[in-house]
Amino acid sequence: MTETKTSENRPSETHTGVIGRPIDRIDGPLKVTGGATYAYENALEGAAYGYILGAAVAKGRIAEIDTAEAERAPAVLLVMTHRNAPAQPDFGPAVTPTVPEVFTRARPALNSERVRYYDEPVALVVAETFEAARAAAGFIKVRYDEEPGLYDLPGHMADAYAPKRTNAGFETDSMIGDFESAFAAAPVKIDATYRTPFEHHNPMEPHATLAAWSGNELTIHTSAQTLANFRAGIASTLRIPPERVRIVSPFIGGGFGSKLIAHSDTILAALAAQVLQRPVKIALTRQQMFANAGHRAEMIQQVRFGADADGRLTGIAHDVWSAASSFEEYCEQTAVFARSLYVAPNRVTRHRLVPLDINRGEWMRSPGEAPGMLAFECAMDELADRLGLDPIELRIRNEPAQDPERGVPFSTRNLVACMKEGARRFGWERRNPTPGRTREGRKLIGYGMAAAIRPNYIGAATAQVAVDRDARVTARLDMTDIGTGSYTILTQIAADSLGLPISSIKVELGDSRFPRTAGSGGSWGAASAGSALHNACNALKQRILKAAQSSEASPLHGASATEASFANSEVRIGQRSAGLADLIRRIAPDGFEAEGSVAAGATTESYKAYSQHSYGAHFAEVAVDCDTGEIRMRRMLAVMGAGRILNAKTARSQIIGGMTWGIGAALMEQTVLDRRYGHFVNHDLAEYHVPINGDVPEMEVVFLEEHDDKANPLGAKGLGELGVCGAGAAVANAVYNATGVRVREFPITLDKVLPALPVIAI
């Protein structure tokens, strides 16, 4: 029999199918009616409540801990400290040998009298109610032998060292040509140092866990972005096989990277549930999250450009010094994007870490690119100003024909198109290149722009799909939805591939019993899980076609055309067609199942042979009060090129969220570390300022669609984190254009702008 192939092995590039349409979120009704159950909302009979007590010093040892009064408190079931916690493996070396071990290493809690950072858990109280546990924790008396610590990044630059690698496995340094000589000889130079502060994720849903044992099987209801990593990390910590750990996380109230690994709430809930032999739930308070759930590190960045008189770069250097934890290394790939953004024959990028006595930094939305582009794209604006050249024209003159450091072609690259389209839509021609010259009454008006770039990743993933006798499809993956629309996107992919309405598709996510995916993170979720599901649907179609042609009960029996299609709930082979539900009832009353997978991009030839990125251009308009220095956003525009757009509505929401993060990074967000005592001072949402409704202006998002056939079967690219890349720099450049004040220490607050504002007569 001639093999029959479907005509949908690659999704249609037209907009007539389900993919690309702005479909409302599948999980939306559940969330607005309260039907979506989050980690702490899960209810199990007999569940007890845990409350964590954190260390009152940042470095030292527990000399004495008195828990007697807490143990006698009403309704208390357990007080756990390092003296009675179940045995766990040592934490291990500060530097893990391979990238996967960063996620899967054991992360013990309460296993030592050593205090490594402020608010590190020193005790856990479990009681019949949360209030009883919290009250009893206040009765615990702890005496510390405090030790002097290091908490000052600028003051300890001499202690900086080169890590073996940066996040995601990128090389720590890169060097091409002779930058120092080129810089010395350049007619035009920029040498600027920028400082970006500690920042914290603060998803709406705090980190929370409900742990329950059944015999030697552990079930964890938690808020996790990557179930496989959580499962492996918990298993390593508890010294049990991963198969005995089940992670359930169907709904997540935001993560932004802070939920890629298990934290103390998860480990302590599992340990306490094991000791008590009853379910235990723990949630970190908002204040506890600032020390125990990761952060973006403070950084000092030196950006140097050498250029000729026409603005063509002769040298690029980006040096980064980051605060790091003394007990676990983490290095954002802050300068890596600069290796692919602009052409220059002489190039240097370097990353250095300064170990401090704080908790480790972690992945925070667009790690590396977000703080790196904030500095780098401001420096490009400084260079354009020095040259008297339009910032867009400067970038166009330095557009590379191939990846400047890898020497391979780009899979696609539409950065210039994004800038030109953005300029047209934004009215860039109205920008006065001389700062401080555009006024509306007592307001100074400024325009700014910046480029956006982010690597495109794909992670290994597998999906399972089944169709029943009524042509109802169920897809299962351990993929998660952290508020980005995974349920919706995957529903669209399955419906498009199988030619069915979305009402016929049910997507089940967030359970480690389902096939493994790369989870949500790194903007790889939709492409990775989506490609696996697409391949699973293709495998399912081949099973259906084979049975339809060979079964005598099939109305398509003996059909021999080489092309087939699934559309409008029908299967068509040549000129013959049959309804899918009727066909399955005839040939397989129990339905069909199939699996599909996709390999990690790093292992595939297309990722080795091509430089793969998503691109964009941000534009911002601000108004600055010339009397008070108050900065107000007026409007923003983002023009993005991220391959094929799978859902126009959820994609727009992702970019708007990123742009809002950019406003926060430029103007508001900063966690202040007390350099004397090592604790974050503003560890709550009252004093950690993020943009709210009144701070966010009119925002417009435009997509320049393309099909990147080198990226994945869907032709889509990473999108979620692209929106923050360069957004803050566009805001900062607009502030400069409005005022003539160049602020290099972020965020740009009133005290940094006001003293240098031009005096304008009333």
Name the residue among 457, 356, 354, 335 with its Cα closest to residue 719: 457
The pTM for the full model equals: 0.96
Decide the pairing of beta strands 174-176 and 346-356: antiparallel
Co-location of 567 and 697 in the same domain: no
Q: Is the pLDDT of residue 314 over 70?
A: yes
* Residue 84, in any domain of the structure: no
Q: Is the pLDDT of residue 543 over 80?
A: yes
Residues 467 and 418 in one domain: no
Mean pLDDT of 706-731: 96
DSSP state of 19: T
Assign residue 477 the CATH number of its domain.
Answer: 3.30.365.10
Q: Where is 617: in which H helix or E strand?
A: strand 613-625
User: H or E segment at 571?
Assistant: strand 570-573
Q: What is the pLDDT of residues 191-223, one digit of tens each?
A: 999 999 999 999 999 999 999 999 999 999 999
524 close to 363: Cβ distance less than 8 angstroms: no
Q: Is residue 279 part of a domain?
A: no
> CA 58 → CA 65, 141, 324, distances in Å?
17, 17, 14
Q: Please, where are the H alpha helices in 342-436?
A: 369-387, 391-397, 415-426
Cross-strand partners of 183? none
579 has pLDDT over 90: yes
538 and 637: one domain? no
Distances (CA, A) of 600 to 516, 518, 528: 12, 9, 8
Answer yes or no: is 176 within a domain.
no
Total domains present in the chain:
2
Same domain, 567 and 680: no
Residue 335, domain member (yes or no): no
Q: What is the DSSP string of 259-318?
A: TSS--HHHHHHHHHHHHHTS-EEEE--HHHHHHHS--BPPEEEEEEEEE-TTS-EEEEEE
Residue 99 in domain = no
Q: Is the pLDDT of residue 760 over 90?
A: no
Three-state SS for 656? helix
Q: Which of 599, 628, 644 is the last residue of a domain?
A: 599
Q: How many CB atoms lie within 10 A of CB 24?
A: 12
Distance (Å, whole) CA 166 – CA 119: 27
What are 68's two structure tokens?
């007697």
pLDDT band at 97 (very low <50, low <70, confident <90, very high): confident
Q: Is the pLDDT of residue 313 over 60?
A: yes
Question: Does 734 reside within a domain?
Answer: yes
- 452 & 465 share domain: no
* Residue numbers of the domain that contains 561: 5-33+459-599
Same domain as 517, residue 451: no
Interatomic CA distance for residues 633 and 651, integer angstroms: 22
Residues taking part in catalysis: 721
618 and 749 part of one domain: yes
Whether residues 587 and 627 share a domain: the answer is: no
> By three-state DSSP, how is residue 677 classified?
coil
Tell me the C-alpha to C-alpha distance, in Å, between residue 489 and each of 27, 481, 651, 652: 11, 10, 10, 13
Q: Which range, of 4-13, 109-118, 393-402, 690-699, averages the lowest pLDDT?
A: 4-13
Whole-number pLDDT of residue 576: 94
Identify whether residues 750 and 621 lie together within a single domain.
yes
The answer to whether residue 281 is domain-embedded is no
Which among 556, 572, 599 is the end of a domain?
599
- Quote the distance between the C-alpha of residue 100 and its chain's center: 17
Q: Last residue of a domain, which of 599, 630, 650? A: 599
pLDDT bucket at 275, cuts 50 / 70 / 90: very high
3-state secondary structure of 735: helix
- 674 assigned to some structural domain: yes
Alpha-carbon span 128 to 143, nearest angstrom:
27
Are residue 505 and residue 538 in the same domain, yes or no?
Answer: yes
Two structure tokens written together for 538:
């293709």
Report whether pLDDT(9) > 60: no
- Whether the pLDDT of residue 551 is over 60: the answer is yes
First vs last Cα of the chain: how many Å apart?
88
Strand 346-356 and strand 313-325: the pairing is parallel
511 and 400 within one domain: no
Residues 6+ apart with CB under 8 A from 607: 458, 601
Instruction: Provide mean pLDDT across the span 105-119.
Output: 97
Residues 450 and 467 reside in one and the same domain: no
What is the reported pLDDT for 100? 84
Q: How many CA atoms lie within 13 A of 366 on its CB side?
A: 32
